[in-house]
Amino acid sequence: MNSMEKSRRNSLATLIYDCAREVHEHTGPGILPGIFRSCLAHEMRLRGLRFRMNAAITVVYKGIRIEEKLFADFIVEEEIAVNIFDNPSDNDFQLKRMQSILAFSGCGGGVWLDTSNQRLVDGFKKIINLKKTVI
């Protein structure tokens, strides 16, 4: 990955964080993830971001389509996958889910948001796709 791609991905992750922080400041912690998703979608639209919501990820292994269903809450600018949850005890599952999404989506990175935290920054995590699988 070149430095330009890394810089773009970091700028995009920062913009996603800014949108999420705006929503979190207005709603407070503990809002249901579905409501947070809808508010975040509105905030990203206001800032001109292109995204797909509830994005289906096609899982292809060695040329064969696997029937396993995989979704990301958002794919932003076809570069960053975003997932939102509100249960800190799900961290291991959420990390595996994000790694699976990144492996098959072609996204360069991911962001997960745990909206249960008092401060959103404590529930914000960037994940880099170390193993891009080309479909």
Q: Are 81 and 54 in contact (CB under 8 A)?
A: no
Q: Give the global pTM.
A: 0.88
Does residue 40 belong to any structural domain of this protein? Answer: yes
The CATH code of the domain that includes 46 is 3.40.1350
* Per-run averaged pLDDT (10 residues), the chain, 135 residues: 78 96 92 94 98 96 92 96 87 89 92 90 88 50
Instruction: Count structural domains, the chain.
Output: 1
Q: Look at residue 133 in the predicted model and tell me its pLDDT.
A: 45
Structural domain containing residue 120:
3-128
Q: Look at residue 135 in the predicted model and tell me its pLDDT.
A: 38
Does residue 16 belong to any structural domain of this protein? Answer: yes
Q: What contacts 45, CB < 8 A, 6 or more positions away?
A: none
Does residue 133 belong to any structural domain of this protein? Answer: no
Does residue 134 belong to any structural domain of this protein? Answer: no
Q: Look at residue 55 in the predicted model and tell me its pLDDT.
A: 96
Does residue 115 belong to any structural domain of this protein? Answer: yes
Of 119, 122, 102, the residue nearest 110 (C-alpha): 102
Pull the structure tokens for residue 74.
């958002």
Does residue 135 belong to any structural domain of this protein? Answer: no
Q: Look at residue 53 in the predicted model and tell me its pLDDT.
A: 97
